[in-house]
Amino acid sequence: MGYETDLKLFIDGAWKSGEDRDIFTVVNPVTAEPIAELPLATAADLDEALEAARRAYPEWRHTDVEKRAAILHKAASLLRQRAEEIGRTLTQEQGKIFAEAKAEVLGSAQLFDWYAEEARRDYGRVLVRPAGQLSRVMHEPVGPVATFTPWNFPIYLLAKKVAAALAAGCSVISKPPEETPGCTQAVARALEDAGLPKGVFQLVHGVPDMVSRHLIASPVIRKVSFTGSIAVGKHLMGLCAESMTRVTLELGGHAPVLIFDDCDLEKTLDMVVPQKFRNAGQVCVSPTRFYVQESIYDAFVKGFAERTQQVKVGNGLDADVKMGPLANQRRPEAIGKLVEDARSRGAKVLAGGEPGDSGYFFKPTLLADVPVEAEIMNQEPFGPVAVSRPFSDMDEAIEQANRLPYGLAAFAFTENGRRANLLGDAIEAGMVGINSFGISVADAPFGGVKDSGFGSEGGKEGLETYQVVKAIHQA
Ligand code: NAD
């Protein structure tokens, strides 16, 4: 089935294209061939969106929470009904396999449902005061929000921000990635069909630097939420400083995985290998730096390499394929350089290590005995590459895990409960998974420390990020 989405901007309740707007060419990463043209927002489009967000905000803010929740639930149900179609669009635009694409749509629906409920249970508090006096703490929506999201989970990362912001009572202008516009347009369609009033949610694709500068400089925007690279995150934080705009930054990671000799080795390998190659490794919490206890290191890398060689790579629409291409041309180029650097410093390539024959493919790769100085031990590869090194004891493992300026996710595999507790405390990361990769769920906070950013998405913390507090004292 071909690509069928007619790509448009969604501003003040109207779908817009043409009219001499510049065009971005959307490419299918399997073939590197163009599949569609996306109109890019002009400065006038952005001004119109800002004005609509400003106008729509007070009404949405004061809309009964039951009604807000009903619209979000309805959008969730429409996403579920349309999951196959949206999933196919996502696979064609981004490359991930269809099963993962459909799961992403369903996970996004869950976020809309969860925040619909959370908004209803968002209470302030009353402070203890003498009779006749009243002091209360109120939660209020922060105001119109601008979101910037990346191409690796274009629907889920958009939904994480938008579901929470809408639940809190904010209006939202979103700039999703230009590479994957059809699937994010489907989120806007679901919200529109669910009855969201015009101007409450808008979609503006464009030249990223132009759009972010324009929106962040506007006094209409009271909060920015960005997911993407550390470099762009720091740049946007600078823009937010100039306009004193609140900001949440969900940036990169370089997740360590500590494998202890008391783990169930076969079970651990069966978990970690598919997880490494999910979405071709383009996951900010992808397990990447494997530190393995010396006594099981050889068995671990052997089992990892065997499983890696069996990962079937191809077009994500084919049912038996387990890993698709990377999302754009930048990724295989960047990963190729990192692998070459590691190889030249003595790392062993136990599987893969090179690009595919066409499109934006890179073979599932395992590097062993990678020196600490290799670039790939220090820079997030954001691709289908696992690197491994042995360690002798827990202190060394923790030191290696915490060595980098990243602090997003970390994982450990051990059957020793006391060790698991100690690791949970000692690892510097926003999320720690012990014998588990289930760290991105609607009801738990998700976010990093150190250079991986700040602010949480998911859980009640995700709602609070779109709120301000006000204390009212009455005598
Ligand atoms: P990039 O730094 O060019 O862009 C990252 C994202 O930010 C993209 O979605 C892009 O559209 C957006 N962006 C870029 N400049 C912007 C600007 N001035 N204003 C607003 N948005 C802007 O990197 P890339 O080549 O697209 O991705 C590679 C790197 O990005 C990876 O190595 C990874 O570290 C990081 N990344 C992280 C995540 C995540 O989930 N945290 C997702 C995607 C990419």
Query: What pLDDT was estimated at residue 18?
Result: 80
Q: Determine the Cα–Cα distance for residues 402 and 111; give it in Å rounded to an integer.
A: 31
Residues 6-23: tens digit of each pLDDT:
999 999 999 998 888 999
Structure tokens at 273: 């290998």
CATH architecture of the domain with range 9-251+452-474: 3-Layer(aba) Sandwich (3.40)
Q: Is the CB of 5 under 6 A from ligand 1?
A: no
Q: Is the pLDDT of residue 279 over 70?
A: yes
Alpha-carbon span 397 to 88, nearest angstrom:
41
| Tokens standing for residue 34 | 């163009």
What's the CA-to-centroid distance between 254 and ligand 1, angstroms? 15
Closest atom of ligand 1 relative to the 230 alpha carbon: 34
Q: Is 177 in the pocket of ligand 1 (CB under 6 A)?
A: yes
Q: Which residues contact 240 (CB under 8 A, 6 or more apart)?
A: 216, 224, 246, 247
Q: What pLDDT shows up at residue 4?
A: 77
Query: What pLDDT shows up at residue 458?
Result: 95
Q: What is the mean pLDDT of residues 292-307?
A: 98
8 Å CB contact between 284 and 453: no
Work out the average pLDDT over 227-249: 97
Q: Is 121 left (phi over 0), alpha (psi -120 to 50) or beta?
A: alpha
Query: Quick one: CA torsion of 399, 404, 407, 409, rounded to 10 degrees?
Result: -70
Q: Is the CB of 283 under 6 A from ligand 1?
A: no
Supply the Cα-derived Rg of the chain in whole angstroms.
Answer: 23
Contact 385, 281 (CB under 8 A): yes
Task: Confirm or reject: Cβ of 229 under 6 Å from ligand 1.
Answer: yes
Q: Which residues of the chain form CATH 3.40.309.10? A: 256-441
For domain 256-441, say whether CATH 3.40.50.300 is its number.
no
Q: What is the mean pLDDT of residues 264-271?
A: 97
Mean pLDDT along residues 179-204: 98
Is this prediction's pTM over 0.85? yes
- Looking at residue 239, what is its pLDDT? 98
**Which pLDDT score is estimated for 2?**
78
The rounded Å distance from CA 208 to ligand 1 centre is: 10
Q: Is 227 in the pocket of ligand 1 (CB under 6 A)?
A: yes
The finding on whether 330 has its CB within 6 A of some atom of ligand 1 is yes
Instruction: In the chain, list all ranges with CATH 3.40.605.10.
Output: 9-251+452-474
- Rounded CA-CA distance 253/249 in Å is 12
What pLDDT score was predicted for residue 5?
80
66, HSE (Cβ side, Cα atoms, 13 Å): 0
What per-residue confidence (pLDDT) applies to 1? 64
pLDDT score for 77: 98
The half-sphere exposure of 426 on its side-chain side, counting CA atoms within 13 A, is: 19
CA of residue 249 to ligand 1 center, whole Å: 12
Q: Which atom of ligand 1 is nearest to the CA of 334?
A: 32
pLDDT interval class at 282 (50, 70, 90): very high
Ligand 1 centroid, distance to 152 Cα (angstroms): 9
Distance 205 CA to ligand 1 centre (A): 14
Q: How confident is the model at residue 3 (pLDDT cuts 50, 70, 90)?
A: confident
pLDDT tens for 332-381 read: 999 999 999 999 999 999 999 999 988 999 999 999 999 999 999 999 99
Which residues are part of the catalytic machinery?
Answer: 250, 284
Whether ligand 1 lies within 6 angstroms of the CB of 209 is answered as yes
Evaluate if residue 327 carries a pLDDT over 70. yes
- Does the pLDDT value for residue 140 go beyond 90? yes
CB 288 within 8 A of CB 280: no
What is the sign, positive or negative, of the torsion defined by CA atoms of 81, 84, 86, 87? positive
Share of the chain above pLDDT 90, in %: 97
| Mean pLDDT of the residues in the chain | 97
Q: 251 CB under 6 A from ligand 1?
A: yes
pLDDT band at 469 (very low <50, low <70, confident <90, very high): very high
- Which ligand 1 atom lies nearest to the CA of residue 382? 32
The model's pLDDT over 407-461, given as tens digits with 9 standing for 90+, comes to 999 999 999 999 999 999 999 999 999 999 999 999 999 999 999 999 999 999 9
CA 194, chain centre distance (Å) = 24
Other C-beta atoms closer than 10 Å to the C-beta of 332 total 23
Q: Which amino acid is at 19?
A: E
Rounded distance between C-alpha atoms, residue 151 and residue 101, angstroms: 12
* CA-proximal residue: ligand 1, atom 20 (nearest): 208
CA of 184 to the centre of ligand 1 (A): 16
Separation of alpha carbons 286 and 79, rounded Å: 26
pLDDT mean over 127-156: 97
Measured CA angle at 211 (ends 43, 223), to 5 deg: 115
